[in-house]
Structure 1
Amino acid sequence: MSVIQDAFIWLNDPLNWTLPDGIIARTREHLWITLLAVALACAVGWPIGVLLGHYGRGGAALVTLANVSRAVPTVALLTIFPLTAIGFGERAIVLALAVFAVPPLLANAYLGIREVDPQVKEAALGMGLSGRQLLTRVELPLAVPYLASGFRTAAVQVIATATLAAFVNGGGLGMIISRGFGLGLASGGGQVLAGGLIVAVLCLIAEGLLALGERAVTPRHLRAPGRMSEGRASMTM
């Protein structure tokens, strides 16, 4: 039988879904790891990006940091962190994935604040708003679509990358793929393909749901095609 047929048979076996290490349990692990990593990245990336954007400083350094961090292989962090005081287990995996998720969150937060119309900010200051009030009442609300865009990018990237957690026996859907490789491609090729398909479908679902959420928080006049994607691209030039 072909690998595609093997994958179809493997996916249609109820035991592969319901066992303690089956698809349902591994999907829960995968989403939990993703949630923790993205939440940690948001706690770090958003405040830094917002403050840098508010004060108008660090733009060049931010772009450099974002580009350099993308060059660091996540699998390297997954193997290095367990050898440090962080140790093995969920903490090392979540931290490595969070490092990977910070750049798009930070860059889009910075861009969202910097894209606020200067005339709007001048009008707010003219009405007597302090710098803090300007940030919380004007800049942040207008930057929400960019924050949502960064969150969407980071979340989908982490869902796809979290499969690498299997390299350190960290759980998630990557375990299905790694066990398939352990059986050899002749016997486990179908399982490898099935695991890859599950991750791909999960990414597509997340992308679709988060795209709807991003559209919901974006004002109508900012929904012009390509507007925000062009902004994101400018941060990596």
Structure 2
Amino acid sequence: MWTRPSTATKCKLTIATVAAVLCAAGAVAAVPANAATPGCSLHCIQVYSARYGSPTNPRFVETVYGGTAAVGTPAILAPPSTTNPAGDIIVRSTGSVTSFYEVDMVSAAINAQYGPLDAVQLEYAPNGVRTGLCSGLPGTPYQNAGLTLQPCDTPGSTVFILDTTDSPSTGPLYFPIIMGNTTDFEHPFAMTLVGNPAHKKIPQIKIQRLRGNPDHVGQNQLWSANVLN
């Protein structure tokens, strides 16, 4: 797990403490473990869009297309399920952007821009079994790229920044999620919902430049998450 610097020491963050850390930051809500498979329910995180979801009814959550644990499998939005392990996503690691920089997972430029903000890696763990595959991109982000499963040790492209500073009026509940290897800080590459997931065969999560920041970010680029406990 990544270490997070403090004024006195570096505190290791384990899976068991992820929910407490993120909830304390105000970034996510803790809800009962009744919306994931039993094997994942104690650790699962459900990322959902502000356009369609709420803490009590996320409606569509980040899910692995077809449940296939393979590099390149699309990350999509689908209804939460207690029986389908395709939605079993866990927080592999979390901490400040600086803590990821200290282990060479983000660049010095990213650290200079976002250092104090929280960042996460999201790992596919069907029925609670970790795969070593995380949501990400296979290289530098670009407009309308689709999120896919990538090896979790891939620097930058598997790190997501909870960018509350780019939409302060909607935080802490809803916030943009920025790619950890974005190359543009004025309009950084961010997770984006394109269309209604219910009307798409493969409702893949896209990456687009953030628009309207800091005062008018659209709901399709605002996200939140539930930690199941």
| TM-score bracket for this pair, using the shorter chain length | under 0.3
TM-score, normalization by structure 2:
0.23
TM-score, normalization by structure 1:
0.23
Q: Going by fraction, where is strand more abundant, 1 or 2?
A: 2
Q: Going by fraction, where is helix more abundant, 1 or 2?
A: 1
